Amino acid sequence: MGTVSRKALGGSIHRIREFELEKVCLSDEFDILQIVGEGWFGKILLAEHRHTDTEMVLKALPKQYTALRDFYREFHYGLHLAAHRNIITTYDVAFETAGFYVFAQEYAPLGDLTSNVSETGIGETHSKRVARQLASALEHMHTRDLVHRDVKLDNVLVLRSDFSRVKLCDFGETRRVNTLVRRRNEWLPYTPPEVLLTNTDETYKADTSHDVWQFAIVVFVCLTGCLPWQKAGPDDPRYVRYVQWQASNNVIMMPVRRPKLFKQLSSRAQRLFRKYLEPRPEKRPKGLADLQRFLDDRWLGGRVSAERGGAEDDELCPSMYSYHSSAEEKDKLLFTLTQYGIETTVDRSAKKDRIREWIQSSVIEEEGEEEAEDEDVEEEREEREENGTFSPRLPPRAQPLSRHASGNDPDPDGPEPLPSAAAAAVASAAAAAAASAAAAAAASVHSPPHTAGSRSASH
């Protein structure tokens, strides 16, 4: 089996070189040890090269669905970026078989983050290790004007069980900054809100702030074991509440209670996520260089979320499922699905159950939450004073909330306040009932008193 010349690494990283691929019979050159992943995107094979006894991963992309220029691009970026210690090593081996374009990478025996993060996360220490290394890898790309565009748990490989070595992988979506790209099969929970506003097949410019958003989602899941929302859109109640909370910290207004999952985090960690998960792309950082300022701070320590409810299978977001099938006849169907934005990522069998647990803890409406609202307001006020933002202490009052885009989702923290007219009517009825009861009691202390409760309830 031939190898690609090191000359492929010469010149600018933005000049993608094309070369003639050697035709190889896979079974003649390799012993296939394990199918690591499989789907319409191709196959990930753990293999051993027979002549050198070298173990490696082969990424085989089907010619039917892969343009040759896309294969060259992914292989090119993998080679150029591999020098960084937190980016997966792509070997200078590329060839084609009868049905696939193939290149070789190092093997990560512990799998990806999806297979290693439990329903309660991986803890603060390990989360900080992942954050530091992932930020370093992304900054390495950003300084070279590259946007990864597909930062998610599946694309962060674990090489040591204590998370002291993780590596970013999969550069199939990587593009140069400001390149016009089409929205296709972004994974909804990781997609920035400005990209969600773009219709499928419409174009938008690749920007490093997209990686910053996705980075924050990955770290949030590592810390909490939960996705903060299903998607960053107006029809997701958890995201709507987050936006309201974010806005209340930017203007002088009545403080909004923190979203439930964010209450697990320290004030410094909340500040970190509000910074990186800024809904307005023009206000969101373009890079992660300032992460170091937060690494010495405590990230966990707020009130831990209460019991998490369960969800029926049909309540789960379908885009969160992985498809574990090796039937080639399904490839065409999966390819069509992904063009319409339906997730078809394939990985180890444990991932489906793990993802279901995350969704169960993320999409269920928060019920029965008995927390002191005054305490939340006081904490918000103290945080504002710490940040130098003045907010007058106002008495709590009912604030009508706009209904979500679905038209059926109530505020997860409780019932909506009554309209002003209805509230006035109830108050008037209660006052009249109280007056009637007092008059009756004064008229005769020996007769049974009249109760106002039945009248008030039936009014």
In a domain? residue 422? no
- For residue 277, what are its two tokens? 């998960």
Considering the domain boundaries, does residue 455 fall inside one?
no
Check residues 317 and 193 and name the one with the higher pLDDT. Answer: 193
Distances (CA, A) of 356 to 75, 115, 158, 362, 363: 33, 13, 21, 10, 11
Does the global pTM surpass 0.85? no
Q: Do 190 and 50 have their domain in common?
A: no
Candidates 150, 154, 211, 331; catalytic one: 150
Mean pLDDT of 284-305: 86
Q: Is 138 part of a structural domain of the chain? A: yes
Provide the domain count of the chain: 2
pLDDT-above-70 percentage for the chain: 61
pLDDT band at 354 (very low <50, low <70, confident <90, very high): low
Domain interval for residue 240: 113-363
Residue pLDDT, tens place only, 3-30: 444 445 667 888 888 899 999 999 999 9
DSSP string, 111-163: -BGGGT-BTTBS-HHHHHHHHHHHHHHHHHHHTTTEE----SGGGEEE-STTS
Per the domain annotation, does 343 fall within a domain?
Answer: yes
The CATH number of residue 255's host domain is 1.10.510.10
Same structural domain, 256 and 313: yes
Residue 95 sits in the same domain as residue 118: no
23 marked ligand binding residue: no
pLDDT at 93 over 80: yes
Q: What is each CA distance from 39 to 96, 211, 398, in whole angstroms?
A: 18, 25, 51
Are residues 134 and 94 part of one domain? Answer: no
Same domain, 119 and 42: no
Q: What is the pLDDT of residue 399?
A: 39
Confirm whether 118 is domain-assigned.
Answer: yes
Co-location of 182 and 261 in the same domain: yes
Is residue 387 included in any domain, yes or no? no
pLDDT at 190 (0 to 100): 95
Is 118 in the same domain as 249? yes
Tell me, yes or no, if 207 is annotated catalytic: no
* Same-domain check for residues 176 and 204: yes
CATH number of the domain enclosing 63? 3.30.200.20
- Provide the token pair at 295: 């690494």
User: Both 95 and 133 in a single domain?
Assistant: no
Least confident of 21-30, 131-140, 395-404: 395-404
